[in-house]
Amino acid sequence: MLQLFLKLHFAVLLAGFTGVFGRLISYDAFILVFIRFSIAATFIYFILKAMHKLKKFPVRHKIHGIITGAILATHLVLFYLSIKLSNISIGTVTLATTGFFTAVLEPLIIKTRFDKSNFVYTLLSVLGLFLIFNFDTKFRIGIAVGLVSSLFSSLFAVFNKKFSYKKDPYTFVNYQMFGGFVFMLICAVPYLVLNDEPIEFRKLDIFYLVLLATVFTVLLYLLVVQLSEKLSAFTISLTFNLEPVYAILIAMILFNENKELNFSFYLGVSLMLICVFLQNRKIKKHISDR
């Protein structure tokens, strides 16, 4: 169980770096995610094929993987759009509300028992978000988009739990990446119709995208799918509230974003971190009981 706990926090550490790519890569949110899934879907297929990890799946299970991949792609487009409309700190900290959405959706979709302590944690996160909403008005559109992104992040976590239980996680994440790619490919048609600006391929952007698609996508989501078989979607989502901590620290170092943040923002983040601390204590107690 301790190994599972360490895997969870390593996954959160990887996730903490993903928001930074939204600032480093110059492409808009759609193109960024489209190329990310194109590389990730290709990479995961050939790697798992070479390792003989891919297994035959019933059509129903393949569809489940493709559906969750489409949900993931939607979340990521909105996530990077939130970052580009505001900054890394705002875009990532709104993901803390994933715990709130998951606490409501998990009992409804998976029919799990409603946990009162989880509800208390979500109230702390929501209170923290209200404080952040008092932040500079120019970032409120970014915050609003981030909230919708958080809803899709929660749906991804819940359906991961519902669909991937007792299935081979390697094959499942392969179909997730494929599903995300197909979804983005379908969306590319209206995108190209509405956006007539030419797409320039820059070497540095491609380098960042390859890194993002391999280490920070394939490896990250392999871990998340594996963890979803052992832990509740709420536990995973709430522990991922640590993601903004890493992202904010990196943004401060690389982009001096601390100059854009005020006391209300830090107070809101502090409340969200208290929520994470309480949940981590709950996880550790569960580990010791075993």
Using CA atoms, how far residue 187 sits from 73, 163, 179, 193, in Å, is 11, 24, 12, 10
pLDDT of 288 higher than 80:
no
How far is C-alpha 164 from the geometric centre of its chain's CA atoms?
17
Show the domain range for 272: 2-289
Q: What is the pTM of this model?
A: 0.84
CA angle, residues 212, 215, 220, in degrees to nearest 5: 100
User: What's the rounded mean pLDDT across residues 189-198?
Assistant: 86
User: What's the rounded mean pLDDT across residues 171-193?
Assistant: 94
pLDDT value at position 137?
67
pLDDT of 97 higher than 50:
yes
Q: How many domains does the chain have?
A: 1
Confidence of residue 289 (pLDDT cuts 50, 70, 90): very low
